[in-house]
């Protein structure tokens, strides 16, 4: 039997005798079965790869167990860092979410474009003939019926409808970018 064969037999004996014990030791600190098995296997492999430099080491099982211990510590420290990073990410995500909620709660859609829309509307109405502008204001701003406007202005209802329609066409043209928003605001 060669020295290598003897080393392999010794290693197999060591593995058979201590493998389950090391698994149990690691499982008292770790709950991830795959990580436990990997750490113990890596510890045995580490011993095998470095056995040539361990001539002064007389207690090989203690050496491997110490390796298991350090690998478990490394694993737990990595888990701790990962957990802290996840908590930091979750805290940041919670703060961003809260900021979005507060921003949305503070948002008043009816005021978002009201100044801009009012400015455009005033320009359009001032560019209309005075009668058309007055009829439109009475219809849309004062909420008077076409019949009431017709009686007040001594016009036919059809004439009132014409003036309101003329004003609406020009408003639609000038406010085409705001039309969807105005519709939404109307239904709110």
Q: Which of 90, 106, 122 is the last residue of a domain?
A: 106
Between these two residues, 27 and 123, which has the higher pLDDT value?
A: 27
Distance of CA 169 to the CA centre of its chain: 43
Of 73, 106, 139, the one marking the end of a domain is 106
Instruction: Work out how many domains the chain is built from and give that number.
Output: 2
Q: Are residues 28 and 98 in the same domain?
A: yes
pLDDT over 70 (residue 188): no
Same domain, 61 and 123: no
DSSP state at residue 185: H
pLDDT of residue 27: 95
% the chain with pLDDT above 70: 86
Please indicate, yes or no, whether residues 102 and 114 belong to a single structural domain of this protein: no
Per-residue pLDDT reduced to its tens digit, 114-151: 667 778 778 888 888 999 889 888 988 888 999 999 99
The span from the CA of 22 to the CA of 61, in Å, is 9
pLDDT at 18 over 50: yes
| Domain span holding position 58 | 3-106
Q: What DSSP element (H or E) covers 70?
A: helix 60-106
pLDDT of residue 113: 59
Q: Dihedrals φ, ψ of 73, to 5°? A: -60, -45
Domain with 49 in it: what CATH number?
A: 1.10.1740.10
Report the C-alpha gap between 76 and 31 in whole angstroms.
Answer: 10
Q: Report pTM.
A: 0.53
């Amino acid at each position: 039997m060669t020295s290598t064969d003897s080393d392999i037999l010794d290693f197999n004996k060591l593995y058979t005798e201590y493998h389950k014990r090391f698994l149990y030791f690691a499982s008292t600190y770790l709950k991830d079965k795959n990580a436990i098995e990997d750490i113990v296997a890596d510890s045995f492999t580490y011993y095998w790869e470095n056995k040539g430099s361990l001539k002064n080491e007389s207690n090989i099982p203690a050496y491997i167990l110490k390796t298991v211990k350090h690998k478990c510590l490394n694993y737990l420290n990595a888990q701790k860092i990962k957990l802290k990073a996840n908590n930091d990410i979750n805290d940041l995500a919670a703060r961003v979410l809260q900021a979005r909620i507060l921003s949305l709660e503070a948002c008043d859609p009816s005021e978002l474009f009201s100044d801009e829309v009012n400015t455009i509307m005033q320009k359009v109405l001032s560019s209309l003939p005075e009668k058309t502008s007055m009829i439109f204001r009475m219809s849309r701003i004062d909420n008077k019926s076409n019949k009431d406007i017709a009686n007040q202005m001594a016009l036919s209802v059809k004439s009132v409808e014409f003036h309101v329609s003329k004003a609406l066409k020009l408003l639609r043209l000038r406010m085409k970018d705001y039309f969807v928003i105005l519709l939404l605001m109307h239904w709110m």
